[in-house]
A and B are shown apart, each in its own frame.
Chain A
Amino acid sequence: MTTLVEVQDLEKNFPLNGGGNYLALKGIDLDIRKGEFISLIGHSGCGKSTLLNMIAGLDLPTGGTVLVDGETVKRPGPDKMVVFQNYSLLPWLTVEQNIALAIDEVIPGLSREDRQALVNEHIEMVGLGHAGHKLPRELSGGMRQRVAIARALAIKPKLLLLDEPFGALDALSRGNLQEKLMQICNENQLTAVMVTHDVDEAVLLSDRIVMLTNGPGSKIGGILEVDIPRPRQRMTVVHHPSYYSLRSEIIYFLNRQKRVKQWQAKPHKVLARHGLEKVNLDLGFVPLAACAPLAVAEAKGLFAKHGLDEVQLVRETSWRGVTDGLLDRTLDAALMPSGMPGWMTAGGHGDQPVPVVSALTLSRNGNGITLARRLAEAGVHNVDDYRAWLQSHNREPHTLGIVHPASMHNLLLRYWLAANGIDPDRDVHLQTLPPAQMLADLKDGSIDGFCIGAPWLDRAVAEGHGFTVAGDLAIWPGHPGKVLGVREDWALAYPNTHIALVKALLEACAYCAEPKHWTELSELLSDRRYLGMKKEVIWFSEASADGNATVPHHLFFGPGVNRPSRSEHLWILTQLARWAEIPFPRNYVEILERICAVGVFSTAARELGFEEVSYQRGAIDLFDGRPFNTEDPIGYLNDVTVHRDFSVAEIPIGVPRVLVG
């Protein structure tokens, strides 16, 4: 397919009334193929309409060019017909006259009959045959927009530009009109660009969705290919497996943009006090039982006690939000899966490696593998049953949910599957989903199960949608769960703040580990600021045989619990490489040295008088008994039977650099 529209390094600067300029768009590059349907989506004021207007020629760029069919767009014209949000019909002309007006201007010299035929054809096309003699004010909004579309199509444009065409319509007319537009576009092989703020509309209509970041200086934040085959139907398209992932991708993007905007709206001066370099911190977390130390540190004033006067807990809906928050520095530090420091340091997020350090392991355990109730009803009770079930149902897709590639859930689930003779990529499909989505998917049967942390696994069981096929205590008791992670440049810029933060959280960990505090913890976490769930589903104990609820499931504190462990991070790097999430770092010794801020931990523990927690853990001991030799990780990788094609490479993380500014 050939390119119809080329947008090259486009920039738009608006002069402001009070002098100065507003940079609306910057560095926009976009190629649109013939016959393609593109949606532009973003928050209000992100410049999506400005971009459309510049393609239309209604507005001229202050930098870069727009080419349509190889020619620079200098002014508007009928080859780039626009359908405006407010219809823009001439109110003194009837439906027919409005369409005829456009035809007269664009295709002069038509005979009266030919013109009338063209008018009629397009009125019929949008299903308004009965309303040809009506005036726009006698029509509903939806009908007016149809006239506007008919008028646009009647002059046979190369490119159809739609500016929030259905924004002002009620849901029912919007749906009907979307289908109509889709049908017309398919039948006429139209090339179209549509501005919208409706996520479902974008997914339904588009071949590609262009997501714009917030202004000033908006740019393309991402382009999504919609792989749902055409012709599409509004009611059936939602059942396509890609639909919800595309939808949640866009929503994640939009929420992220909103978060960044809110963050930018606040002043962000580094406040130095009490001998600490920075006391105003934004601390990211995802609502899980393992966020208890953060909640306690906030509620019990432990941050302030250690001089961190202005700590803000920022609730993210997914781990991806934590990654992005660290990348764009909207977060100072975060609760993160224990695999994330190594994953980001090795560039697992798909960009330049960003060294992330961890000075504290906040929790251990608290995870489990859950399978859907329908499997239990079909006789699946353990992993052998599941393997047999997969073999007997090998024609169906089997999806298991994970929360993040770098989370222990992913690594433990894969390890457990592989050790039990199930290939985690070939026999089943592992999909990254936000926790709240997983429970819904488990209910409606679109996933077989998931590996996730408390309280979600407990909720699935408590609500009767699934059962725990393997608890983490049966896979790797005492495995690292969540850690505190900060960027290395941040840690070097604010070393005393880092120690203070670790001290506050370590003290909170100690509080969380006391069985007598668990009821209070459940109550605290049930608050809307943290988990926002009923306190009955949040618990920290492992019910033992004698019904004694003081056996901990989550480990928050104790000898060997909190100290960052190089061997554990090495195990994680090895597993991430095994499943090709990252190449195995040839310079792993250096990387582990940089990831594990043992010095910060030791200083914090010593200053708190917690000498006993400094002991290192013993050997890594998983359920299958396979030994992990920390001296020879590559040998281990070569030795495992089930793995992807992994590579070994030098990860260029450079010398440690201090954050400037």
Chain B
Amino acid sequence: MTTGISPTSNRAERTPPTGVALWWKNNRKGIISPLFGIGGFLLFWQLSASLGLTKLAGPLSLFTEERTRDLLFYPFFDRGGLDKGLFLHAMSSLSRVALGYLLAAIVGIAVGIAVGLNKALDRAFDPLFQFLRMVAPLAWVPIALVLFQNNQPAAIFVIFITSIWPILINTAEGVRQIPQDYRNVAQVLQMSNKSFFTKVLIPSALPYIFTGLRISIGLAWLAIIAAEIVMPGTPGIGFFIWDAYQNSYVSDIVLGVIWIGAIGLILDRLMTWLQKRISGNH
């Protein structure tokens, strides 16, 4: 509030808030409630740790433990081998996810379209897809290791096989759900297959494909941690957590989990944004 120097101050008081004030007014509720929720949760956690109710380190340990504090404030160091900052660990994990996910997207969309267009194929493979999609990421790890005999490709395979199903199934559904109207238009205009594919099929199925992609990115990120935890020896955030556990660095584990959650959230938001951008016209 302005101090009453100018005679117009009374009027100024009545003018609607602008800038930061306006933003605060509009977003107040969206900020205060989560703050209370998260603050309360952290407080409870810290109290239960401080009072010795659990062996789990409290959130303050991130700052009180010197080793963890270093990891928290210096995510970019690289002392060679597996001794890296958390950012670099995260990047290795992400690059593995990116590769597996990309493969899943390519194969998933292609097979999804084929299955969506061809009823015979659909009937032949749908039960198999429905079955495989229920297999948990961890269960794939030994199979992947047997298949590839090598940690790196095996980890990528686990990402791939975990994240392909939502993409495939949603794409197929998207193609199946192309309205008869659009098909009629294509028929009446005697569109070539190529035209139909690029001008009707893809744009029409796009919202479904993106729904699949968004569900898959979460699954892929879940899978990488599982894959890295059981495939030690490669840098990655999963390895970091497992390593910290082996050394009983509990506060490091907490820090690692926070990184995982944060990255997962960012990935999901990114896909949501992309989905809105690309399929906004539907």
> A residues bordering B, Cβ < 8 Å?
56, 58, 75-78, 80-82, 84, 86-88, 90-92, 101-102, 105-106, 135, 137, 155
Chain B residues within an 8 Å CB radius of A135: 281
Do the beta carbons of A78 and B189 come within 8 Å of each other? yes
Q: How far is the CB of B119 from chain A (nearest CB, A)?
A: 16
Q: How far is the CB of A400 from chain B (nearest CB, A)?
A: 52
Q: How far is the CA of A137 from the CA of B281 in the complex (A)?
A: 8
**Interface of chain B residues 249 through 282 with chain A (CB within 8 A):** 281-282
Closest 7 CB pairs of A and B: A88-B181, A92-B281, A105-B189, A76-B187, A76-B188, A92-B203, A88-B185
By beta carbon, the residue of chain A nearest B191 is A105
Partner of B188, one of A56, A101, A137: A56
Chain A residues within an 8 Å CB radius of B74: none
By beta carbon, the residue of chain A nearest B196 is A105
Do the beta carbons of B282 and A88 come within 8 Å of each other? no
**Interface of chain B residues 89 through 118 with chain A (CB within 8 A):** none
Q: How far is the CB of B176 from chain A (nearest CB, A)?
A: 18
Do the beta carbons of A105 and B195 come within 8 Å of each other? yes
Q: How far is the CA of A106 from the CA of B189 in the complex (A)?
A: 6
Q: How far is the CB of A59 from chain B (nearest CB, A)?
A: 10
Chain B residues within an 8 Å CB radius of A155: 189
Q: How far is the CA of A90 from the CA of B191 in the complex (A)?
A: 14
Q: How far is the CA of A130 from the CA of B263 in the complex (A)?
A: 46
Chain B residues within an 8 Å CB radius of A80: 188
Do the beta carbons of B282 and A101 come within 8 Å of each other? no
Chain B residues within an 8 Å CB radius of A105: 189-192, 195
**Interface of chain B residues 116 through 137 with chain A (CB within 8 A):** none
Q: How far is the CA of A81 from the CA of B188 in the complex (A)?
A: 6
> B residues bordering A, Cβ < 8 Å?
179, 181-182, 184-185, 187-192, 195, 199-200, 203-204, 206, 281-282
Chain B residues within an 8 Å CB radius of A81: 188
Q: How far is the CA of A556 from the CA of B160 in the complex (A)?
A: 93
Partner of A91, one of B184, B188, B282: B282
Q: How far is the CA of A87 from the CA of B191 in the complex (A)?
A: 18
Do the beta carbons of B190 and A77 come within 8 Å of each other? yes
Chain B residues within an 8 Å CB radius of A106: 189-190
20 A/B residue pairs, CB under 8 Å, sorted by A:
A76-B190, A78-B189, A78-B190, A80-B188, A82-B184, A82-B188, A88-B179, A88-B182, A90-B185, A90-B200, A92-B203, A92-B206, A92-B282, A101-B189, A102-B189, A105-B189, A105-B191, A135-B281, A137-B281, A155-B189
Q: How far is the CB of A108 from chain B (nearest CB, A)?
A: 10
- Number of inter-chain CB pairs below 8 Å: 55
Q: How far is the CB of A85 from chain B (nearest CB, A)?
A: 9
Q: How far is the CB of B169 from chain A (nearest CB, A)?
A: 23
Do the beta carbons of B281 and A58 come within 8 Å of each other? no
Q: How far is the CA of A81 from the CA of B184 in the complex (A)?
A: 10
DSSP class of B's interface residues: helix, strand, loop or mixed?
A: helix
Among B179, B185, B203, B206, chain A packs the most CB atoms within 10 A around the CB of: B185
Do the beta carbons of A78 and B199 come within 8 Å of each other? no
Q: How far is the CA of A227 from the CA of B192 in the complex (A)?
A: 44
Q: How far is the CA of A82 from the CA of B185 in the complex (A)?
A: 8
Q: How far is the CA of A105 from the CA of B200 in the complex (A)?
A: 12
Q: How far is the CB of B209 from chain A (nearest CB, A)?
A: 13
Among B179, B189, B200, B204, chain A packs the most CB atoms within 10 A around the CB of: B189
Among A80, A87, A105, chain B packs the most CB atoms within 10 A around the CB of: A105
Among B184, B203, B282, chain A packs the most CB atoms within 10 A around the CB of: B184
Chain B residues within an 8 Å CB radius of A56: 188
Do the beta carbons of B189 and A90 come within 8 Å of each other? no
Chain B residues within an 8 Å CB radius of A87: 181
By beta carbon, the residue of chain B nearest A105 is B189
Chain A residues within an 8 Å CB radius of B179: 88
Do the beta carbons of B187 and A58 come within 8 Å of each other? yes
Q: How far is the CA of A89 from the CA of B192 in the complex (A)?
A: 18
14 new A-B contacts at CB < 8 Å, known A76-B188, A77-B188, A88-B181 = A58-B187, A76-B190, A78-B189, A78-B190, A80-B188, A82-B188, A86-B181, A87-B181, A88-B179, A91-B281, A92-B203, A92-B204, A92-B282, A101-B189
Do the beta carbons of A90 and B182 come within 8 Å of each other? yes
Q: How far is the CA of A81 from the CA of B189 in the complex (A)?
A: 8
Q: How far is the CB of A99 from chain B (nearest CB, A)?
A: 12
Q: A91-B282, A92-B282 are in contact. Are A84 and B190 (CB under 8 A)?
A: no
Chain A residues within an 8 Å CB radius of B281: 91-92, 135, 137
By beta carbon, the residue of chain B nearest A83 is B188
Chain A residues within an 8 Å CB radius of B203: 90, 92
Chain A residues within an 8 Å CB radius of B185: 84, 88, 90
Q: How far is the CA of A105 from the CA of B281 in the complex (A)?
A: 22
Q: How far is the CB of B282 from chain A (nearest CB, A)?
A: 6
Q: How far is the CB of A181 from chain B (nearest CB, A)?
A: 18
By beta carbon, the residue of chain B nearest A135 is B281
Chain A residues within an 8 Å CB radius of B206: 92
Q: How far is the CB of A329 from chain B (nearest CB, A)?
A: 40
Q: How far is the CA of A91 from the CA of B206 in the complex (A)?
A: 12
Q: How far is the CA of A262 from the CA of B216 in the complex (A)?
A: 55
By beta carbon, the residue of chain A nearest B181 is A88
Do the beta carbons of B199 and A101 come within 8 Å of each other? yes
Q: How far is the CA of A82 from the CA of B183 in the complex (A)?
A: 12
Among B179, B190, B203, chain A packs the most CB atoms within 10 A around the CB of: B190
Q: A84-B181, A88-B182 are in contact. Are A75 and B187 (CB under 8 A)?
A: yes
Chain A residues within an 8 Å CB radius of B190: 75-78, 105-106
Chain A residues within an 8 Å CB radius of B181: 84, 86-88
Do the beta carbons of B184 and A58 come within 8 Å of each other? yes
Chain B residues within an 8 Å CB radius of A88: 179, 181-182, 184-185
Q: How far is the CB of B195 from chain A (nearest CB, A)?
A: 6
Q: How far is the CB of B193 from chain A (nearest CB, A)?
A: 12
Q: How far is the CA of A87 from the CA of B190 in the complex (A)?
A: 18
Q: How far is the CA of A87 from the CA of B185 in the complex (A)?
A: 10
By beta carbon, the residue of chain A nearest B187 is A76
Q: How far is the CA of A90 from the CA of B182 in the complex (A)?
A: 7
Q: How far is the CA of A81 from the CA of B187 in the complex (A)?
A: 10
Q: How far is the CA of A81 from the CA of B190 in the complex (A)?
A: 11
Q: How far is the CA of A92 from the CA of B282 in the complex (A)?
A: 6
By beta carbon, the residue of chain A nearest B281 is A92
Do the beta carbons of B188 and A58 come within 8 Å of each other? yes
Chain B residues within an 8 Å CB radius of A92: 203-204, 206, 281-282
Among B187, B195, B204, chain A packs the most CB atoms within 10 A around the CB of: B187
Chain B residues within an 8 Å CB radius of A86: 181
Q: How far is the CA of A135 from the CA of B188 in the complex (A)?
A: 22
Q: How far is the CA of A88 from the CA of B204 in the complex (A)?
A: 12
